[in-house]
Structure 1
Amino acid sequence: MTATVCTPPLPAALTARQATRMTPAVIVLAIAFVSFLLISNALGARVCEVTLPWSVRGEPLRLTFSAALISFPFAYLFASVLTEVYGYRISRIVIWSGLAANLVMIGFLWLMTLLPTEGAWAEQTGFTDEVQRHWYEAIAHMFLASVSACFVGEFANAATLARMKVAMRGRLAGLRIMLGSALAALLDTVVFVVVAFAYVLDLDAMARMAGLEFVFKCAMQWLVLPLTVGLARGLKRVDGIDHYDVGTSLNPFRFRASLPQPSADLR
């Protein structure tokens, strides 16, 4: 748990555009973030393996990874923009909303498995009650891993960006996003692989999967870094907001539904 940090006040020129209202851009970014979390949860139930044209100690080089790898980095893009422009408090609300949406989805999928399947349709499609049950168990397992990883990674990313922005007086946004995404990718990958595959893969396979996912996530997030920085700059200009989390508590459980209000110490 992180206590409220007392930070020297920033120059008035840097604190004149605090987040004091909800804008359409916040809603769009929140929808995009939640959408990619839901997509990643659905894709995460499949484990993929690619055999490369190289060998290691006489064995073909195989890369094992979760299919969610192709979608999950985009969730960090939208979360980083939210924190950079609108601040940690709004980002915290959006992250919790994404986790809640995943919980609602998994709950309705569970209800679906309780309903009996029509016989002719099941025979034609092969999607029998037993297949549905196994499919749901895989989804539920990946849901637990995804939510655990998202909780750790997303809040680590948001907290890092918020503190570094204040410390760096708003400069070098690209560097902040790179460092925040790298830390988040490391924590997210380790938690996801351990929770999802501890009883499925051996330690060597888990290590290779974690290494591949970490490198790929960092590469993807750094590849779209110009888009992330450009989007953040554009929203700052359009909405007239550039929030600094001076003295903001980074406790993820300190939920506040209201937007931050300006005050003398910007708390």
Structure 2
Amino acid sequence: MSKAYKHLDTIAALFVTVLLISNVTSTKIVTFGPFTFDGGTLLFPLSYIFGDVLTEVYGYARSRKVIWLGFFSALLMSVTFIVVGILPPAPDWQYQTAYNQILGLTPRIVAASLVAYFVGEFANSLTLAKLKLVTHGRWLWMRTIGSTLVGQILDTAIFILVAFSGVVPNNLLWTLIVSNYLFKCGVEILFTPVTYWTTGWLKQQEKEDYYDINTDFNPFHSG
């Protein structure tokens, strides 16, 4: 019988919520001080923090299930937005253009988002789980930041290059990549004390501190 956890469902729900909100708000490009990035960047780094907490406390296999849950939730949301946008509007509804501009996601944006999320989140979780074994559970700060540096560069570069290459000028393209990456990693570093407290509290609550010694790290493994 698999172990029952008090807070795993809550962490999973928060993870998916952050992911979906980030996908919607990413339709706007914003400036924040010296940074230029899509609006989803303000919240999306929290998904990596939740991913770190999931892997650190519950292990890679349980984190893998949550990552897939997020993937299919984002896919369902994107397909729903596209289908609703295609359906003919009511005669007295005058906001079809506004809907298409904000929520009428193109297949290219959807593909970029899903592929970047898949690669980045699994790279983050895998890196953290492997580093936990190598460090014997020490230096949590190094593991959370190190895994984020790996996952975020893949996520950021894939999304921006696939979504916007050939659409925006190359100088803006690289500005977006650098700004997104630095901001996301900065948030992870800034929230390190919160990550420490959360993982410590959850380990006490759940009586769990999982080490992925015999784990199959294939992201497509069903176990």
Say if 2:10 is the partner of 1:23.
Answer: no
Please tell me the residue identity of whatever aligns with 1:98. G
Q: Given the two structures, how large is their TM-score scaled by the length of structure 1?
A: 0.78
Deviations along 1:223-258, whole A, 9 cap, x unmatched? Answer: 0111111101111011100110002121111122xx
- Structure 2 CA distance, aligned partners of 1:185 and 1:85? 21
In structure 1, distance between residues paired with 2:146 and 2:126: 12
1:190 Cα deviation from its structure 2 partner: 0.8
Provide TM-score, normalisation by structure 2.
0.92
Unaligned runs of 5+ in 1: 1-18, 53-61, 257-267
1:235 counterpart = 2:207: no
Kindly tell me the number of residue pairs found equivalent between the two proteins: 223
Distance in structure 2 (CA, Å) of the matches to 1:158 and 1:35: 18
Could you tell me how far apart the structure 1 residues matched to 2:176 and 2:153 are? 12
Residue 55 of structure 1: aligned partner: none
Q: 2:40 aligns with which of 63, 68, 71?
A: 68
Higher helix share goes to which structure?
A: 2
Given residue 25 of structure 2, which amino acid in structure 1 is its aligned partner? Answer: L
Where do 1:97-176 residues align within 5 Å? 97-122=69-94, 127-128=95-96, 130-138=97-105, 140-176=107-143
Q: How large is the RMSD of aligned CA atoms in angstroms? A: 1.9
Deviation at 1:133, TM superposition (A): 3.7
**Corresponding position: 1:37 with 2:19:** yes
* Mapped contact 1:44–1:139 kept (Cα < 8 A): no
Matched with 1:261 is none
Conserved in 1, the CA contact under 8 Å of 2:78 and 2:105? no
Kindly provide the CA deviation profile for residues 133-192 of structure 1, in whole angstroms up to 9, marking residues without a partner as x. Answer: 444443654332221111111111100111111111111111110111111111111111
1:244 is paired with a residue whose SS is: coil
CA distance in 2, matches of 1:121, 1:209: 35
Cα–Cα, structure 1 residues 47 and 140, in superposed 2: closer, same or farther, change >3 Å?
farther
**Could you say which structure has the larger radius of gyration?**
1
Per-residue deviation, residues 83-127 of structure 1 (Å, max 9, x unmatched):
0000000000000000000111122222322433223332xxxx1
Match of 1:5 in 2: none
Q: Equivalent of 1:190, from 136, 154, 157? A: 157
Counterpart residue identity of residue 122, structure 2: F
